[in-house]
Amino acid sequence: MDNNALLNMRGIYKSFPGVKALQDVAFTLRKGEIHALMGENGAGKSTLIKVLTGVYTKDEGDITLDGKEVSIHSPEDAQHAGISTVYQEITLCPNLSVAENMYIGRSDNIIQNWKAMNEGADKMLKSLDIPAKPAQQLGSCSIAVQQMVAIARAVDMDCKVLILDEPTSSLDDNEVQKLFKLMRDLKSRGVGIIFVTHFLDQVYEVCDRITVLRDGKLVGEFEIKDLPRVQLVSKMLGKELDDLSDIKSESGAAAVDMSSVPVLEAEGLSSTEGIKPFDFNIRKGEVNGFTGLLGSGRSECVRAIFGADRVVSGTVKKNGKTVKISKPIDAMKNGIGYLPEDRKIDGIIGDLSVRENIILALQVMKGFFKPFTKAEANAFADEYIKALSIKTASADTPIKSLSGGNQQKCILARWLLTHPDYLILDEPTRGIDVGTKVDIQKLVLKLASEGMSITFISSETDEMLRTCSRLIVMRDRRVVGELKGDDLTQNKIMSTIAGGEGQ
């Protein structure tokens, strides 16, 4: 065991009904290091953090801090033990002053010594070189400074372990650098920092060690210099680099006439969600996909195409004609369908029936004053319930009472019913059972062979390789490559995702 260890977590188990979120996970943090905690969605990063900060209670395992065993049952326990967390969303109070935010909830006295508080805050801010005044209202500072104030608060509480959960996702490059400077500063004071992020570049810039989790299990702890990017990506995705038992399109992807006019062509498209302008095209009967790690901007790209986010630049051509897509209805009228990534928030209308959910998009396209008759709506619903074998008691059942896979099929039915030329499927198979997954993949290939153009996004590379004939690779909100033909292999995808020295 490392003598320098500050925090030691061993044999951590945690399960939720039906899910083993953490299995025998170990994590060690040393004094004065910045340690990245990496893993794809569902890997167990946030569960581990929540166990450490007392939001969840672990089922099994020991946590030692400074060599002493600690028991953490609540966020307060964690704070007293010297573990502080700064979350992605600011959890401070924007309408209080900076100093108030740093001292709020920490004093046992009824009477607050305002002068001492402001002086203390001023000292701390100055020593950390944070550009904020104690009396300034927190809301008037930039997000980056607000985050730094949150960190200052943590440091002022003598925290030994500082957890930064995706702190950089809403910062620009300049602000990120300021944050990194602060992090290095704290590191030199002996604070141990756990850094959770999706940005590979940032990990390699600032971290000393990396711990990778996958599917609730520990993959390993690595020195940053021993772990090239490509290997990190392969460890996160769980694919061995040499594993060349590759899956070439089982259906033998339908021959796409690449000389034809693209069904959809976009140039320099970008939206308010921070993706760098990108070009995109898709031809009749083609299946392509966006790939990249979570947060790389793949969903934002398709949302920009569909007009789901506000588009700020770029032109879109549909079958060679320039069209203006500024909101979803424009895209729908141009024959584009979009199955969103988050089924619960963007997909289903929970309390409405399966029937209403299926006919919704077509109904909206048909118009406000032309509702379908009951018989028509029933016919549509029954047709697709049968075609996609949606398991529901009846078409009248509220969609929220269906299983995830069947809800997804309803949303798929909704868009198939509109008979789009171009269908975007963002994570259509997430969180659904294997059988349904295969059904959906088969359906995608069948639709493409019938002439529909499809963009397919999935976190599972296997699935993408099986369905797509062309992959657009994204990293840090930028398109970094395009793969097709013989380049469509796990290795090539991972090295392109990783970029940097791996290429």
Partner 1 sequence: MINKIVKNQIFIPIAAMLFLLLFNLVTDPTFFKIAMGQNSAGNPVLSGPLITILNNGSELAILAIGMTLVTAASGGQDISVGAAIAIAGSTILRVLCGTNTRPDTLRTPIFVAFIIGCLVAMAFGAFNGVLVSIFKIQPMVATLILYTAGRSIAAWINNNELPIISDPRFGYYGGFIPGIPIPTPFFIAALCVVIIALVLKFTNLGLYTQAVGINESSSRLNGINPVFIKWLTFVILGACVAVAALIKVSRLSSINYSVIAKDIEMDAILAVALGGNALGGGKFNMAASIIGAFVIQTLTTTLFMHNVPSDALPAYKAIVVIALVVFSAPVFRDAVSKFMKNLKNGKKKEVANV
Backbone angles phi, psi at 13, to 5 degrees: -120, 140
DSSP state at residue 297: S
| Residues from 391 through 420 that contact partner 1 (CB under 8 A) | 414
Where are the alpha helices (H) located in 267-403, listed in sequence order? 298-306, 328-333, 354-366, 374-387
**Residue 352 binds partner 1, judged by CB under 8 A:** yes
Q: Does residue 285 belong to the site contacting partner 1 (CB under 8 A)?
A: no
Q: For partner 1, which residue of 9, 141, 200, 360 counts as binding (CB under 8 A)?
A: 360
CA dihedral 211, 223, 11, 43 (to 10 degrees): 20
H helix or E strand, kind and range, residue 478: strand 478-484
- Give the interface segment with partner 1, choosing from 89-97, 180-188, 365-373, 453-461 (CB under 8 A): 365-373
Q: Does the protein bind partner 1 through residue 363 (CB under 8 A)?
A: yes
Residues 12 and 170 sit within 8 Å (Cβ to Cβ): no
Q: Which stretch in 10-18, 205-213, 312-320, 350-358 sits in contact with partner 1 by CB under 8 A?
A: 350-358
Which residue number, 207 or 417, has a Cβ lying nearer to partner 1?
Answer: 417
Residues 6+ apart with CB under 8 A from 137: 94, 95, 96, 97, 98
A 10 A CB-CB count for 302 gives: 23
* List 206, 361, 425, 432, residue binding partner 1 (CB under 8 A): 361
The CB-side HSE value for 377 (13 A sphere, CA atoms) comes to 19
Give the binding range for partner 1 (CB under 8 A) out of 56-64, 277-285, 342-350, 461-469: 342-350
Instruction: State yes or no: residue 346 binds partner 1 (CB under 8 A).
Output: yes
Contact string (CB under 8 A) for partner 1, positions 309-328, x = contact:
------------------xx
Task: Tell me the closest approach of the beta carbon of residue 444 to partner 1, in angstroms.
Answer: 20
The CA angle 247-422-364, to the nearest 5 degrees, is 135
Distance, in Å, from the CA atom of 340 to the CA atom of 347, rounded to the nearest integer, reads: 6
**What is the C-alpha to C-alpha distance for residues 158 and 192, in angstroms, rounded to an integer?**
12
How far apart are alpha carbons 260 and 468 in whole angstroms?
Answer: 18
| DSSP code of residue 285 | T
Asked whether the beta carbons of 496 and 489 are under 8 A apart, the reply is: no
Q: Which is nearer to partner 1, 394 or 449 (CB)?
A: 394
Minimum Å gap between C-beta 380 and partner 1 is: 14
Q: With binding defined as CB under 8 A, does residue 364 bind partner 1? A: yes
Among the residue ranges 103-111, 209-217, 338-346, 451-459, the one whose residues contact partner 1 (CB under 8 A): 338-346
Number of neighbouring beta carbons within 10 Å of residue 310:
12
Listed ranges 88-96, 203-211, 311-319, 356-364: which one lies at the site for partner 1 (CB under 8 A): 356-364
Binding partner 1 (rule: CB under 8 A), the pick from 368, 434, 486, 501 is: 368
Residue span binding partner 1 (CB under 8 A) among the ranges 71-79, 154-162, 359-367, 479-487 = 359-367
Q: Tokens 């000389």 correspond to what residue?
A: 259
Alpha-carbon Rg for the chain in angstroms: 25
Q: Binding of partner 1 at residue 375 (CB under 8 A)? A: no
State which residue, 175 or 356, has the beta carbon closest to partner 1.
356
**Nearest distance from C-beta of residue 406 to partner 1, angstroms:** 17
Identified binder of partner 1 from the candidate list 350, 431, 451, 500, rule CB under 8 A: 350
Among 332, 395, 412, 452, the residue binding partner 1 under the rule CB under 8 A is 332
Which region among 24-32, 80-88, 266-274, 332-340 touches partner 1 (by CB under 8 A)?
332-340
Contact predicate 184/206, CB 8 Å: yes
According to CB under 8 A, which one of 199, 306, 380, 456 is a site residue for partner 1? 306
> How are strands ordered across the β-sheet holding 278-282?
278-282, 264-271, 311-318, 321-323
Select 72 or 402, whichever has its Cβ closest to partner 1. 402
Q: Provide, rounded to whole angstroms, the least separation between the CB of residue 347 and partner 1.
A: 6
The number of residues that bind partner 1 (CB under 8 A) is: 27
365 binds partner 1 (CB under 8 A): yes
DSSP H helical ranges for 312-353: 328-333
Cα Dmax for the chain: 77
| CA 494/CA 492 separation, integer angstroms | 5
Measured distance CA(423)–CA(403) in Å, rounded:
23
CB under 8 A: which stretch of 112-120, 149-157, 368-376, 447-455 binds partner 1? Answer: 368-376
Which residue, 109 or 369, is less far from partner 1 as judged by CB? 369
Please tell me whether residue 304 binds partner 1 under the rule CB under 8 A: no
Q: Does the footprint of partner 1 cover residue 349 (CB under 8 A)? A: yes
Structure tokens at 501: 């020295």
> In the bound complex, what is the minimum distance in angstroms from residue 170's beta carbon to partner 1?
20
Among 348, 425, 443, 468, binds partner 1 (CB under 8 A): 348
Of the candidates 467, 461, 438, 503, which has an alpha carbon nearest to the alpha carbon of residue 240? 461
Applying CB under 8 A, which residues contact partner 1? 306, 308, 327-329, 332, 338, 340, 345-352, 356, 360-361, 363-365, 367-369, 371, 414
